[in-house]
Structure 1
Amino acid sequence: MTRECRVAVFRPDDERTVEAVELLESLGATPVPDPMLAVEPTGALPGADDDAAPDVVVLTSKTGVELLAEAGWTPGDAALACIGPLTADAAREAGWTVDLVPGEYTSSGLVAELDGEAEREPNVRTDSFPPDVGDRRVEVARSDHGSDVLLDGLCEAGAAVSETVLYRLVRPEGSGQSSVMAAGGELDAACFTSSLTVENFLAAADERGVRSEAIAGLNRAVVGAIGEPTRETAAAHGIRVDVVPENATFEALATAVVEEAAPTYHE
């Protein structure tokens, strides 16, 4: 006999939540959508305030690519680096040439790539993007919650680095029902897709006065984190992470979490 596997998911309340729900349902789980992020565009564009165009533009998310494409921005003569296959695919769909995708889909992965310590994704043109970015103008375009690892690493490599905040990530009003469910032992699993989703989940739990109970509930469930930075954030707050997929994609995360959780639902 089996019972439902209730999996909380915290993706933004747009097509990503719809896709997450569909995926979890296809895996036989019962989705508990509780968006912890909302996107507020700033209208800023890479290089708009600079006297000289950047030599390299780094994009870190599909959302950033979509906002830039909607604004009619193009990389021009700049080499384009994208963190993660979804970001790269969105850039290609916009008609841009992607020059570099690090094998590890994180800020630290790109830094390692630039230091020549990691292998590049196959079939990605790299002639215009040598490992040495010293003395090059590098523009990082991302959300307001980007890691300092990327900026610091590029600076240490000798690049002249600037940052464009394309959008702000805020917690939607009314979010947090999943924290009440976790506190009551009503969640079987949870999928955290960024450090900010962890922090916003806990902030929502604080508002409801159930923070410690919610953490305890998560630690009785199966918790997945999309990458090592997210796992570290969860661990710093006392949340045990059971699953970190090899590939930092939501599909890989959800699949691994359901596979880990499913055996506990057989009686």
Structure 2
Amino acid sequence: MSATPTVAVFRPDDDRLERAQELLSELGAEPVPDPMLSVEATDATPRTDADYVVFTSKTGAELVSNAGWEPSGETVCAIGPATADALRAEGYTVDLVPEEFTSSGLVAALKSRVDGARVEVARSDHGSPVLLEGLEDAGAYVHETILYRLVRPDGSGESAVLAAEGGLDAACFTSSLTVEHFLEAATEGGIREDALEGLADAVVGVIGEPTAETAASLGIDVDVVPDEATFDALARETMAATAAREP
């Protein structure tokens, strides 16, 4: 491992990527920014007849504001503090944030409340089925509105090349889709197996068990899954694991 570890980060190319790079630099890393997600808005808004409206991302909060959504008495739920802060920044009141910032955490927070209720889930086209199935099992009438589609940006894959060359010390995957898009980029470049070997020698950190399961199913060993589903926790714990490795 080099004195300054190289750490791949796959956040969308906006302020999230900028903040992620700043944090990794503060923690002593050389960030390798390689956005694996690009947002295509649908301009949809949540249905107006719901008792609960659930948001699962900062992006969704901003897009419903841009599309002119106005709540009318619904209980507004955010999957975590970043989503809640984004909703508040757009002028919305947030009524519920679960203790665990995941789909299963949202289900746990809502299951005793939603029997017979109408629940609107407003999110991307790649949302986890855990949320919909869990709410339905709790007796809710669930409807999903797709606010945006997540696609792989043109030109992505620098981190896959670096991994294939043995030059990547760590990687911070923030969703199953970032894992899938990383390997898509590697496959298109004809370096999938080499990139997987490079990741095997690196510290791989992921947010959430679903992302860990996706990585494992695709042949990637996961070293770090922070208890708190935030990029801050992911970056800090991945860097700690990287520093703990033998030089």
Provide the residue aligned with 1:213 in structure 2: 194
8 A contact 1:189–1:221 mirrored in 2: yes
2:72 aligned with 1:91, yes or no? no
Check whether the contact 2:44–2:67 (CA below 8 A) recurs between aligned residues. no
The match for 2:17 is: 17
The gaps in structure 2 that reach 5 residues or longer are none
1:192-245 deviations in whole A, cap 9, x for unaligned? 000000000011111011111111110111000011111111111111111111
**In 1, Cα distance between equivalents of 2:136 and 2:145:** 16
2-structure distance, mates of 1:2, 1:61: 35
Q: Distance in 2 between matches of 1:141 and 1:171?
A: 21
Q: Please list the CA deviations of residues 16-70 of structure 1 after superposition, one character each: whole Å capped at 9, or x if unmatched.
A: 11111111111110000100000010000111xxxx6211101000110011122
Q: Who is 1:174 aligned against?
A: 155
Asked if the contact 1:190/1:224 (under 8 Å) is kept, the reply is yes
CA contact (8 A) 1:9 1:192 kept: yes
Q: Secondary structure at the match of 1:103?
A: coil
Task: Give the deviation of 1:93 after TM superposition.
Answer: 2.1
Match of 2:171 among 173, 178, 190: 190
Q: Is the contact between residue 92 and residue 98 of structure 1 (CA under 8 Å) also seen in structure 2?
A: yes
Deviations for 1:106-148, whole angstroms, at most 9, x for unmatched residues?
A: 1111112223xxxxxxxxxxxxxxx231221111000000111
Q: TM-score, normalised by structure 1?
A: 0.89
- Which residue number corresponds to residue 231 of structure 1? 212
Name the CA distance, whole Å, in 2 between partners of 1:2 and 1:140. 44
Instruction: Pick the aligned partner of 1:157 from 110, 116, 138.
Output: 138
Select the residue among 77, 91, 107 that pairs with 2:73.
77
CA distance in 2, matches of 1:2, 1:228: 29
Measure the CA separation in 2 of the matches of 1:10 and 1:101: 25
Following the alignment from structure 1 to structure 2, what is the Cα–Cα distance between the partners of residues 206 and 161? 37
Hey, what does 1:29 align to over in structure 2?
29
The higher radius of gyration belongs to 1
Residues 219 and 240 in structure 1, CA contact (< 8 A), matched pair in contact too = yes
Aligned-pair distance for 1:74?
A: 2.5
Residue number in structure 2 paired with 1:257 = 238
TM-score scaled by structure 2? Answer: 0.96
**Which residue pairs with 1:102 in the alignment?**
98
In structure 1, give the amino acid aligned to 2:54. Answer: V
Q: Is the 8 A contact 2:37 2:151 kept in 1?
A: yes
Q: Which residue of 1 aligns with 2:62?
A: 66
Provide the C-alpha distance between the structure 1 equivalents of 2:245 and 2:30, rounded to a whole number of angstroms. 15
Percent identity reads: 63
Q: 1:90 to 1:181 in 2, by over 3 A?
A: same
Deviations 1:74-110 (A, max 9, x none): 3221011110110111112222221211111111111
Separation of aligned partners in 2, 1:167 and 1:250? 21
CA distance in 2, matches of 1:74, 1:60: 18
- Tell me if structure 2 keeps the 8 A contact 1:2–1:265: no
8 Å Cα contact 1:7/1:189 also seen in 2: yes
Task: Structure 1 unaligned segments of length 5 or more: list them.
Answer: 116-130
Supply the distance in 1 between the matched residues of 2:245 and 2:92 (Cα, whole angstroms). 46
Tell me by how many angstroms 1:163 deviates.
0.8
The residue type paired with residue 199 of structure 2 is L
Count of paired positions: 247
| Paired AA for residue 151 in structure 1 | L
